[in-house]
A and B are shown apart, each in its own frame.
Chain A
Amino acid sequence: MLQTASERHRALTGGALGLAVIVAFVALATIALLLASGESSIAAALFEPYILRVLRFTLLQAVLSTLLSVVLAIPIAQALARQPRFPGRIWIIRLMAVPMGLPVLIGALGLIGIWGRQGIVNTLLSGAGLAEPVSIYGLSGILLAHVFFNLPLACRLMLAALERVPGEYWLVASGLGMRPASVFRFIEWPVLRSVIPGVAGLIFMLCATSFTLVLMLGGGPAATTVEVAIYQSLRFDFDPGRAVALSLLQIGLTAVVLGVLALLPDVSDAGLTAGRTIRRPDGAFAGIRVVDGVLLLLAVLFLGLPLLSVVVAGLRADLPKLVAQPIFWRSLATSAVMSLSAAALSVGLCGLLVRARHTLSLGKSSAGKRSVATHAVFGSMGAASSLVLLVPPIVLATGWFLAVRRFGDVGTVAPVLVVAINALMALPFVMRVLEPAYGIHQRRTQRLSASLGITGFARLRLIAWPALRKPVLTALSFAMALSLGDLGAVALFGSDSFVTLPWLVYSSLGSYRTNDADGLAVILGIICLLLTIAGTMGGTRREAVAHD
């Protein structure tokens, strides 16, 4: 008996409460969607040519984005793995983590800075006699942006897989005289083949639910995804029927993708560049070193230039004037309060679920076998934490928007809704950080604590907090960064009286105050990156987080 009856009771009640809150929040939004329009109109709307076109474009861009990200990541991961002593290698790997921690909005601004009409690339190309050959808007722009955000993710996951290969393999391969083509065929490809399905599934999921990028770079009937179409049909056309149909379509789409994803092997970049030195004699040939060096340089430019562009453009903006504006401080305060609340709520909910799941798993070992009911509750608490993947933020926002509208002004409850949605968005990731940490901690201490009779608050203060402080802070900082940079949930509710920092950036862009947007973006980007760096120091990765 590792827990007292009251501890067990408290843990299970808390878990049930957390589960109920999450399910109710998501279910109410979904019910509101279903109620908002009659069944007949949904069925009719679903087969509208417009909606079919949107669905086709959503799938098309997701497939192409995934394909490009994965295929282009292969040679870069190969080059990084093959050159373990490449100068600045660790910084290249760190640079690849930046797009994952950067608000999507800011990445998009950087990409526009480099690939846009006045960007370096087009200036160079038109100097060479080509008239604006690259467009950052429309399908090509969306693909470019998705590759920018997902190629580094794919690359890190593949590199981690390549580095898990036993070191002797590379020595044996060199000893046998394998050329790069043979090394690829007999060693690298078999390893990559085992991770690519998981990597591709993850990226497909991220691209199929991409909101901010498509909002900024797409738009127009020719380049709109389901998520953006939901937003447009509510915000511009005010056509709830269409929004509902699209929302249900989005849920169906994510359900299918999640179902497929569940069948694919899990991927992780754990152990990346950890410890042991890897010898790669096959990368020591001069020719290969040149090729790898050029590849890595191109990757660094592709990822680094847009980031640099954000900084340069931001510093060119009139920062003192921006900071002097009351709206800046108002939005900063709003964002700070909201992201703190969302992070706290997310970690709190996660704590309830994790404690209850742990208690249920203890029940298994003492009773010998878990009952079906226990098993179901255990599983549903895990699944609830990922419910937001099934019902994306914009769909949740739409449901609540339609529900609240019946009873009065949406504006008054908007902050609460956005906090709740942001908290749910962060939850899958927070669970990933806290659940293993809590499990390890309990395995280490529960016997001793039980035998000494340390329970309740004393246990929390003396035993749990010192051990769990680091993962909790990691989870908090990631959740804050996620909420702080989020435009998806706030997009529907943003107004003159409810302004977050990303919303301020976005509306500055909309009113052609580009300089202001650049200045704000660099501030927001630095805050988010600092939070992410603070979180990564705990040694956990955030590949699970869907950037909207």
Chain B
Amino acid sequence: MTDGTEIPAAIDMQEVGLRLGGHEFLFDCRLPAGSIIGVTGPSGAGKSTFLNLLAGFDTPLRGRILFHGQDVGLLHPAQRPVSLVFQDNNLFAHLDVFTNVGLGIHPALKLSAADRLAIALALEKVGLSGFEKRMPATLSGGERQRVAFARALVRKRPLLLLDEPFAALDPSLRREMASLLSDMHRESGNTVVLVSHDAEEIKRIADYAIFIDHGRVAVAAPIAQFSTGENHPALRQFLRIDES
């Protein structure tokens, strides 16, 4: 995987521009299907805006967003083929684990026997068998994120968007969760977009990475190339290449 353009693009952002709170954003990039794509950059540079555009929470002023060739720019978040995992509050605190996962299959919770089985299997896959009746408040932060992963599993969407999903976890747990994510990705073959401010994490699990700086995609490259800093001063500084 040396050149992202050879693989069909899962995400194609064509001159996507918008203005938010006095900041200008202009994203233009093609991201390879079936890979884990790391999105990184200094805080405030536009990482979350990038993700919000993909999810449909922000609407572009101009430009086109294509998922596998289909224009999704005007689609409501619910109609896009994506699953989402945030840093916090992924689970409805007043609903038990089973219901939280089940809502991923049917948003009004009309579940068949097969669906119930799928929920149990997904929970097993993330290592939470038998947690169906537990309430989110009784789970640790890592366990809550695992439930969110289980929900993403049952949704079977080709695109998984994660916004700093491990930022609230301690380092060893973060590593464990990242490898769980890699396993899930290998099994399903979906495309994963992982926003993280942690350069090490991106290097560890991503196949491809983009660096966002001042509202633009400054660098987009396969991870091996990306890790060298690509002679981009801001990226080199971010990766602390010059220091070490």
Contact = CB atoms under 8 A, between A and B. Distances in A.
A186 B82 contact: no
Contact of A171 (B84, B95, B103, B155): B84
A175 B92 contact: no
A166 B88 contact: yes
Which applies to chain B's interface (DSSP): helix, strand, loop or mixed? loop
B46 interface: no
Interface in A248-292: 279, 281, 284-285
Contact of B103 (A166, A178, A284, A285): A178
B94 A190 contact: yes
B22 interface: no
B90 interface: yes
B76 A168 contact: no
B78 A176 contact: yes
B92 A177 contact: no
B65 to A, nearest CB: 16
Interface in B156-185: none
B83 interface: yes
A60 interface: no
B139 to A, nearest CB: 16
Contacts of A178: 78, 103, 107-108
Contacts of B126: none
Interface of A: 166-169, 171-179, 181-182, 185-187, 190, 279, 281, 284-285
A279 B52 CA distance: 11
B29 to A, nearest CB: 22
Given A178-B107, A182-B107, A281 B89 contact: no
Contacts, number: 68
Contact of A175 (B77, B89, B109): B77
B90 A175 contact: no
B55 A171 contact: yes
Contact of B82 (A166, A175, A281, A285): A175
Contacts of A167: 89
A284 B83 CA distance: 20
B56 interface: yes
5 contacts: A171-B86, A172-B92, A175-B78, A182-B109, A187-B92
A281 B76 contact: yes
A175 B76 contact: no
Contact of B78 (A166, A174, A190): A174
A405 to B, nearest CB: 57
A169 B88 CA distance: 10
Given A178-B78, A285-B76, A172 B95 contact: no
A272 to B, nearest CB: 20
B148 to A, nearest CB: 9
Interface in B59-112: 76-79, 82-84, 86, 88-90, 92, 94-95, 99, 103-104, 107-109
A12 B5 CA distance: 80
Contacts of B109: 182, 186
A243 B103 CA distance: 59
A186 B93 CA distance: 10
A179 B94 CA distance: 19
Nearest to A183: B107
Contact of A179 (B56, B92, B95, B107): B107
B89 A186 contact: no
A133 B99 CA distance: 48
A416 B77 CA distance: 65
Nearest to B91: A172
Nearest to A187: B92
Q: Which 10 A-B pairs have the closest CB atoms?
A: A177-B78, A166-B89, A168-B89, A178-B107, A174-B77, A175-B84, A190-B94, A182-B108, A177-B107, A168-B86
Contacts of B83: 175
Question: By CB atoms of chain B within 10 A, which of A167, A177, A182, A285 has the most?
Answer: A177
Contacts of B155: 176
Nearest to B52: A279
Contacts of B78: 174-178, 281
A185 B56 contact: no
Question: By CB atoms of chain A within 10 A, which of B78, B79, B89, B99 has the most?
Answer: B78
A308 B149 CA distance: 55
A285 to B, nearest CB: 7
A175 B83 CA distance: 7
